[in-house]
Amino acid sequence: MPVNKEIVISGTVQGVGFRPFVWRMALKHKIKGFVLNNSGGVLIKACGGKNDMRKFIDSLKKEAPAASRITSFTVRPAPAENFSDFSIKKSSESSLASANVPADLAVCPACAEDIANPLNRRYLYPFTNCTDCGPRFTIVEKLPYDRPFTSMKEFKMCPDCLKEYEEPADRRFHAQPNACPVCGPQIFLIHKGKKIAEKEFALSRAADFLISGHIVAIKGLGGFHLACDPFNKKAVEKLRKFKDRPFKPFAIMSDSIEELGKYLHISLKEKQILLSPRAPIVALKKKDISYFKYAAPNLDTLGVMAAYTPLHLALFKDLRNKKFKNPLIMTSGNFRDEPITKDNERAIELFSSLGPLLLHNRPIHNRIDDSLIYIDDYSQERIIRRARGYVPELIKLPVKPKEDTFAAGGDIKNSFAFTRGDELFVSQYIGDLDDSLNADFFIETYKKTSRMLSSRPASAVCDMHPLYRSSYLTSELGFKPYYVQHHIAHFFSVMAEYGIDEKCIGIVLDGTGYGLDGKIWGCELFAYENGRVRRFASLREFRLPGGEICAFKPYRVLFSMALTAGADLRIMNIPIDEEKAMRKMIENNFNSPLTSSAGRLFDAFACLILGKKYATYEAQLPMELESISLNNHKASPYDFIPFNDGQIPRLDFSIALKQAIADKKQKLSPAIAAYKFHKGFARGIAEVCALEAKIKKIKTVCCSGGCFQNRKLSLFLAEELKRRGLKVYFNSKLPSNDGGISAGQLYFKILKAEIS
């Protein structure tokens, strides 16, 4: 007796080859019926023998395509029907209104094989793809996800491609970007304003340029990369000069993760993520800090990504044929802090002076950077920049808000967010909004994505900072915003991720954000209880002589903190005149705002321990300090002890600073001093937190803020909190830096939280 079942699967199951997969499984297990895409998922009507049905359902769960993500799977008995075969039914357009576009997918092993095989018609073809892989979000103009609504619409499929597209048994069945050398997009090489080569000759010439130490601009999936040999000092120096990044690390790309094992520690999990369809940049630990010293100077990690498109694979293949085995630096192709370049004309304008450009004629519709993640000491994925491979994936909310809402995020490392029903969309990394091109990118992306996902926000949330451009842009979009404090938004970003809505503590260790009292906050402890948020502790305040320039002149912060602490000031070797000027500023309260920023505290201790005065990029010295810090030592940590300033407990840095200065005079190894600082600060924070948790009987702690990109701080704080019986959550799917606050702003509004 055959059984009849109705199966509904939701999650990311459209545009990832799910229907052909179901079709193959049905054939394998002798199941009849049909499969179709409907609103937000896949519907299957299945009829077959009892045993076959069990195996069929099992295979759907266990063998689902790598790029799919199943969030719910329901099986119901269905009325008996007569089917002659198993078919893939066409879905109606209206039923796709609440569907989603998948994120871009790295080249799959089968397509990689096609382009490596000289007998295959797609040998070395840079736009090879199938239902398991290829461009998605970057080429989509609107839904439903069908070729006429993508930037592939300009390319008419040849008979061979069309045959694949229409054959359910084919890997390329309904692969919207399906293409081949006959009908699809093509590459070409521009040098000194002239087209000098096309197709595989363009690839070969680009490889020659790279081997001879040139920088090549390469048009990729979500935008341009600037590529060069990471071991060629001159090439990297030229790139650094162009990007105005004297020390900031560059990521590298390789077609052989195994070969990188010579230089880098690569765990199984890291390898899996590197080679997954998301293919983000993964920050890997170097085996020796001196490795890749041009790409990532003074750091113990290096950002690595796999060659994730057929174009990159074909390029590496050509390089290997020419006996060149190095990986390549692949850094975002942009000028200064502008958005990543996506159009050929703009790229020619920007990069022609630098070297040749490897271009192609498939337009990029949605620009998107490479994502950046790392795996922490608890094997948890932690995202730093959320973009290609992750966006536009939706995050399920634990509650359904009454109306769709927009959140603008912050001004630095901006991402915005909006809801659609009980789903949360967080935009790709937009960048710093003080650059007007990034501001345009913000508006353009909001318009595109809200249309694409049919979300019509009725209200909006912004950061409280009175001068934030994100707030201004929100009013430009026609919203009357509601405001949420910066660090409270950080705190709520963790709650949003894990769906936490009961009482908990938030530890936010961050650079700077506008505080409820108008001061610059950055090391804030909150308690959330009965719908109310209360700031229960902070850091002892200090002044920033000169304001914002302190982020790049950390010795000024160190001076100011030493002055507050009554510590020895001679240690820093500051010119008498500058010292005088700073004293005057601080005494007269002129351009020296008070702050409780954890980021600046890290800058100051790093400056002292490393003996370096300047930073050329955000958090440079703290990153270098973390890189040399030991993980373990018997030396006693520096003492950060709270005192009450009449309002709330404030963690005091003065004893710790004096201890660190004394160690410096004793010429204690910086590696040990770095350990004592990280461990001591983590312990101090944990103690203040544990005290409050005990009084309020709270068991859960949410940690967020830019400082949690620091692995040592994350590890030590987690250890200290766990030892005190607390459950600790960190951002994982959302960045702990300002890229995550849009989600937190939204969640604050959704929970209707209030501040007390």
Question: Looking at the chain, how many residues does it have?
Answer: 756
Cβ–Cβ < 8 Å for 131, 16: yes
Give me the 19-58 binding string for Fe ion, x by CB under 5 A, dash otherwise: ----------------------------------------
738 binds, among Zn ion, Fe ion, none (CB under 5 to 8 A by kind): Fe ion
Residues between 724 and 743 with contacts to Fe ion, criterion CB under 5 A: 738
182 binds, among Zn ion, Fe ion, none (CB under 5 to 8 A by kind): Zn ion
- 170 or 422: CB nearest Zn ion: 170
DSSP 8-state symbol, 684: H
What is d(CA 205, CA 192) in angstroms, rounded to the nearest whole number?
14
- 414 or 428: CB nearest Fe ion: 414
- 130 or 484: CB nearest Zn ion: 130
Binding part of the chain for Zn ion, among 28-36, 145-153, 174-182, 477-485 by CB under 5 A, reads: 174-182
295 to 220, 227, 356: CA distances (angstroms): 20, 12, 21
Cβ–Cβ < 8 Å for 388, 342: no
Instruction: Quote the least distance from Cβ 515 to Fe ion, whole Å.
Output: 12
What is d(CA 587, CA 583) in angstroms, rounded to the nearest whole number?
6
Instruction: Quote the least distance from Cβ 162 to Zn ion, whole Å.
Output: 8
Please pick, from the candidates 31, 47, 133, 533, the single residue that binds Zn ion as defined by CB under 5 A.
133
Cβ–Cβ < 8 Å for 386, 397: no
Cβ–Cβ < 8 Å for 460, 474: yes
Instruction: Quote the least distance from Cβ 159 to Zn ion, whole Å.
Output: 8
DSSP 8-state symbol, 181: T
Interface with Fe ion: number of residues (CB under 5 A) = 3
**Residue 182 within binding range of Zn ion, rule CB under 5 A:** yes
Quick count: other Cβ atoms within 10 Å of Cβ 627?
Answer: 20
Binding part of the chain for Zn ion, among 161-169, 238-246, 488-496, 642-650 by CB under 5 A, reads: 161-169
Which burial class, exposed, middle or buried, applies to 213 when counting CB atoms under 10 A from its CB (0-12, 13-18, 19+)?
middle
603 binds, among Fe ion, Zn ion, none (CB under 5 to 8 A by kind): none
183 binds, among Fe ion, Zn ion, none (CB under 5 to 8 A by kind): Zn ion
Interface with Zn ion: number of residues (CB under 5 A) = 10
**Residue 132 within binding range of Zn ion, rule CB under 5 A:** yes
- 135 or 513: CB nearest Fe ion: 513
What is d(CA 555, CA 294) in angstroms, rounded to the nearest whole number?
26
**Residue 180 within binding range of Zn ion, rule CB under 5 A:** yes
Binding part of the chain for Zn ion, among 129-137, 578-586, 723-731, 746-754 by CB under 5 A, reads: 129-137
Instruction: Quote the least distance from Cβ 430 to Fe ion, whole Å.
Output: 15
Which letter, b or e, does each residue of 320-352 get, where b requires 16 or more Cβ atoms within 10 Å of its Cβ? eeeeeebbbbbbbbbbeebbbbbebeebeebbe
Give me the 183-222 binding string for Zn ion, x by CB under 5 A, dash otherwise: x---------------------------------------
Instruction: Quote the least distance from Cβ 323 to Fe ion, whole Å.
Output: 47
DSSP 8-state symbol, 123: T
- 393 or 510: CB nearest Fe ion: 510
Q: Residue 25's closest CA among 6, 44, 10?
A: 44
404 binds, among Fe ion, Zn ion, none (CB under 5 to 8 A by kind): none
- 144 or 409: CB nearest Fe ion: 409
3-state secondary structure of 334: coil
- 152 or 207: CB nearest Zn ion: 152
DSSP line for 217-274: EEE-SSSEEEEE-TT-HHHHHHHHHHHT-SS----EEES-HHHHTTTB---HHHHHHH
Whose tokens are 């170097």? That residue is 286
Residues between 491 and 510 with contacts to Fe ion, criterion CB under 5 A: 510
What is d(CA 407, CA 395) in angstroms, rounded to the nearest whole number?
15
- 309 or 704: CB nearest Fe ion: 704
510 binds, among Fe ion, Zn ion, none (CB under 5 to 8 A by kind): Fe ion
Backbone φ, ψ for residue 346 (5° rounding): -65, -40
**Residue 163 within binding range of Zn ion, rule CB under 5 A:** no
158 binds, among Zn ion, Fe ion, none (CB under 5 to 8 A by kind): Zn ion
161 binds, among Fe ion, Zn ion, none (CB under 5 to 8 A by kind): Zn ion
**Residue 618 within binding range of Fe ion, rule CB under 5 A:** no
558 to 245, 483, 519, 661, 680: CA distances (angstroms): 24, 33, 19, 11, 18
**Residue 111 within binding range of Zn ion, rule CB under 5 A:** yes
What is d(CA 599, CA 521) in angstroms, rounded to the nearest whole number?
10
- Beta strands 41-48 and 3-12, pairing class: antiparallel
Instruction: Quote the least distance from Cβ 755 to Zn ion, whole Å.
Output: 50
Cβ–Cβ < 8 Å for 425, 397: no
Please pick, from the candidates 161, 217, 509, 698, the single residue that binds Zn ion as defined by CB under 5 A.
161
The separation between CA 732 and the C-alpha centre of its own chain, rounded to angstroms, equals 10
DSSP line for 378-396: TS-EEEEE--TTTTT--EE
What is d(CA 575, CA 586) in angstroms, rounded to the nearest whole number?
17
Binding part of the chain for Zn ion, among 179-187, 464-472, 661-669, 671-679 by CB under 5 A, reads: 179-187
Beta bridge partners of 134: 105
Tokens of 644: 């009450």
Cβ–Cβ < 8 Å for 80, 33: no
684 binds, among Zn ion, Fe ion, none (CB under 5 to 8 A by kind): none
Helices (DSSP H) in 611-710: which residue ranges? Answer: 620-628, 654-665, 670-696
- 354 or 598: CB nearest Fe ion: 598
**Residue 524 within binding range of Fe ion, rule CB under 5 A:** no
**Residue 108 within binding range of Zn ion, rule CB under 5 A:** yes
Which residues are within 8 A (CB) of 488 and not within 5 positions of it... i.e. 6 or more apart?
506, 526, 533, 744, 748, 755
**Residue 411 within binding range of Fe ion, rule CB under 5 A:** no
Residues between 677 and 736 with contacts to Zn ion, criterion CB under 5 A: none
- 506 or 513: CB nearest Fe ion: 513
Residues that bind Zn ion (CB under 5 A): 108, 111, 130, 132-133, 158, 161, 180, 182-183
Residues that bind Fe ion (CB under 5 A): 510, 513, 738
